[in-house]
Amino acid sequence: MFPSIISIVVACAIGFVAWIPCSFGEPESDMVEKPSPWSMAVDYFHYEFKGRKPADTKLNGVDIYSFEAVSLDLTLLTLKYTMSPLTSFSLIASHVNNYAETNFSGTLYKDRAQGTGDTIFKGTRLFLLSAKDLLILEVGISLPTGSIDRKNASNQIYNYPYNMQLGTGTYDPIFSSVYIHTIEKHQLGSYGLIKIRPGRNTNGYRFGNEYHLGGFYSYNYSPFFIPSLKVNYKYLQRIEGQDNTFGRSIYTEFYHNKRDFWDVTLGLTSNYAVHSKLNLKADFGLPVWQGSKNIDNVQVDLKWYLQLGAALNF
């Protein structure tokens, strides 16, 4: 239901190889100014969701809960050091703004939680398998800088449920790979990501591991017009333990059992180079087919998403 870092990885991969031939094919010259190894990027993501189906579980003949309008605003600030054309290291800070309208047994609650999210440090290595094939491998760790103690606005004794917290509360290793094959203006690719949750946080629970698989196709008609098709699958393991403030009940079983999510999404990416050191990017996505599997059979659909970004080389 909620996006993760893999959507960011894929968004950044679309159109990525367009610069490779010129970046690695030009001879070095003392007359050419070498770019700085440092760069910074700011990316804003907005995801708009809508509840489609309430939970199957009922209490006194009434659906125990359903989601109505749900949105996520995610802002990322990335500081990147390029050690070589093929190797780089990045530190990614985040700000999260969660909003959810949830109907519990006939009563609608409107909740918002925002603040600093978890921070990611990662290393990236590019492998030029051939003139047309690129493999991107990344290893990183998510640092628990996001709060897991946001209080329920309706009752300050309790924390918000797991989906409204800003972080995981644990140090989470991340492993990802992206493969891209380029044929003139066409790109075909696949990706995978694993996020490991090694232990319980200070509130007594452990988020389950995350596993992502998918593929994409894009057509680089021009830097300003890159349509794409993406296929995504995500598997989330169950939460172990329970939050110390609200425990476990029929309202939280959704999180204590495994969950599967899948979608097919049409996208449109536009890039604009203001000058040699500043690049702007916009990416819009519209799912054409999606679904999920969970113990309550509750369904929340992504209506659309938007990414706006700017990258500056110092």
Domains of the chain: 5-26+39-313 (2.40.160.40)
For residues 167-175, average pLDDT:
97
- In this prediction, residue 25 has a pLDDT band, given cuts at 50, 70 and 90, of very low
| Rounded alpha-carbon distances, angstroms, from residue 107 to 110, 151, 307 | 10, 19, 33
Does residue 19 surpass a pLDDT of 50? no
Query: Tens digit of pLDDT for each residue in 88-109?
Result: 999 999 999 999 999 988 899 9
Q: How many CB atoms lie within 10 A of CB 50?
A: 15
Query: Tens digit of pLDDT for each residue in 298-307?
Result: 999 999 999 9
Half-sphere exposure of 52 (CA within 13 A, CB side): 11
Distance CA 128, CA 125 (A): 10
228's CB contacts (< 8 A; 6+ apart) are: 14, 216, 217, 218, 219, 266, 267, 268, 269
- In this prediction, residue 24 has a pLDDT band, given cuts at 50, 70 and 90, of very low
276's CB contacts (< 8 A; 6+ apart) are: 313
**Higher per-residue confidence, 267 vs 63:** 267
Does residue 125 surpass a pLDDT of 50? yes
Identify the helix (H) or strand (E) that includes residue 6.
helix 5-13
Query: Tens digit of pLDDT for each residue in 31-89?
Result: 556 778 999 999 999 999 999 999 998 888 788 999 999 999 999 999 999 999 999 99
Cα-to-chain-centroid distance, residue 171: 17
Whether pTM exceeds 0.85: yes
